[in-house]
Amino acid sequence: MRSVAFSIPDDVIAVRNGIEAFLRKEVIPRHEEHHELLSNQRLLYRVDGRFCDEALALIRRVRMASADAGYYNMCVPPEIGGAGMGLLAYYVAWECIFRLCGGHHWLGTYVISHWAFGPSRVLLEVSPKAREEMLPAMIAGEKSMCFGLSEPGAGSDAAMLQTRATADDGGWRLNGRKIWITNAPYADYALIFAITDPERASRRKGGISAFLIPTDTPGFEIENVIRMYGEIGGNEGEVVLGDVRVEPHQLVGELHEGFRLGVLGVSLGRVYNSARAVGSARWALKRAIEYSKVREVFGNAISKYQGIMFPLAESATEVHAAHLMGLNTTMLLDGGKPAIKELSMMKSYSVEVGARAIDRVIQAHGAIGFTNEMGLTEAWKYLRLVNVADGTNEILRRTILHRMLGGDLD
């Protein structure tokens, strides 16, 4: 981090260096060995849109190897089996992963447990019985989970969810529908948010609870694997909950107070996506600079043409600003400051400038920029998506303004 004057603690630098070595040993060679399977959609996905078994086995192997090496759970609280590192480490490690893996080596996304598919601080308040039953396999990277908050009628306004948990024989019965749920088609467990007190929920004063349930519980069904961008398979699913029995020990945190866990999960997602945007954009900008020196058009290397190079300089500036914002915000969060405004600024800014940078890199490459081999469109697609996921840019601007109008004008 030559361009950064912040002092980054030694343990964070050590983890980042360790992850870089892990990627070179465990992730990049796997992509080379299984190149055809991992890059050809016809082989990667089954007819129903799910990853094929071989791909799922590779994903599991990366998660488990990383858990063994001590990276997968690096930011999971020690109380539930992790190393308890903070959000600065989380940010720096994810940025490193995407700067090295770019749009090609997507198994890199499984190196660190991500709140939407693995253990995180969202699960800190699971009951002792649930911890014993469900966490060990997740901590080992063997099993995974999904995070079911959004519904067809409740996206940006997630508190409008309609899934109901009705008290039944000491536990609950869940009925409802969830959509856009990452990893749902493959998850062994699901954290499901549901209304437990309709009156409080209608006043937006609690009344929503979180439950961690095995996805093989009768009544839990993946109705649809959602395809995006014309792809033939996907990672997001639509979940139907039909009278799913929930035991008392599956409640996570306090009854009626689960919505804050939803907010906590989404906040982790904002840190992850900011880091991914900066790392992917830097990976892409490096490729553009290299290409600009060797591609000759009208007798000159394109590095001589300001029309194509100035936008790259502008993007490098924006991405640097996003990186500094990411380091600063995660340091504030680790220091116990809520940093609500700064986290919203960081995520909306990072994903916007990240997607713009990759778009400009594609332009600088001409036709070759669109080829699957370059991986640029793959990287761009994800950043375009996260202009919506984990709080849309508009919702984040709304939060920034809400804070400013309330006097937070620093």
Ligand X SMILES: Cc1cc2nc3c(=O)[nH]c(=O)nc-3n(C[C@H](O)[C@H](O)[C@H](O)COP(=O)(O)OP(=O)(O)OC[C@H]3O[C@@H](n4cnc5c(N)ncnc54)[C@H](O)[C@@H]3O)c2cc1C
Binding site for ligand X (CB under 6 A): 116, 147-150, 155-156, 180-182, 236, 385, 388-389, 392, 394-395, 398
Nearer to ligand X, 45 or 147 (CB): 147
Smallest separation (angstroms) from ligand X to the CB of 40: 22
Smallest separation (angstroms) from ligand X to the CB of 390: 6
Copy the structure tokens of residue 152: 């067809």
Q: Cβ of 409: how many Cβ atoms within 10 Å? A: 8
Backbone torsions φ then ψ of 296, nearest 5 degrees: -105, 135
- Return the residue nearest ligand X (CB atom): 155
Nearer to ligand X, 149 or 351 (CB): 149
- Taking Cα atoms as reference points, which of 174, 269, 158 lies closest to residue 221? 174
Smallest separation (angstroms) from ligand X to the CB of 396: 9
- Taking Cα atoms as reference points, which of 195, 191, 251 lies closest to residue 215? 191
Nearer to ligand X, 210 or 327 (CB): 210
Nearer to ligand X, 332 or 395 (CB): 395
- Chain centroid to CA 270: 8
- CA 37 to CA 41: how far, in whole Å? 8
**Which is it for strands 171-182 and 164-168: parallel, antiparallel or unpaired?**
antiparallel
Backbone torsions φ then ψ of 228, nearest 5 degrees: -130, 160
Smallest separation (angstroms) from ligand X to the CB of 152: 8
Copy the structure tokens of residue 149: 């908050």
Smallest separation (angstroms) from ligand X to the CB of 23: 23
Nearer to ligand X, 110 or 180 (CB): 180
- CA 87 to CA 62: how far, in whole Å? 22
Residues 177 and 151 sit within 8 Å (Cβ to Cβ) = yes
Q: Which residue has the tokens 């116990």?
A: 336
Nearer to ligand X, 108 or 148 (CB): 148
H or E segment at 245?
A: strand 236-246
- CA 262 to CA 342: how far, in whole Å? 19
Copy the structure tokens of residue 277: 């945007």
Instruction: Give the C-alpha distances (Å, rounded to integers) separating 297 from 260, 291, 303, 364, 367.
Output: 55, 12, 10, 12, 13
Smallest separation (angstroms) from ligand X to the CB of 140: 22
Smallest separation (angstroms) from ligand X to the CB of 386: 7
Nearer to ligand X, 180 or 291 (CB): 180
Smallest separation (angstroms) from ligand X to the CB of 226: 8
Nearer to ligand X, 209 or 315 (CB): 209
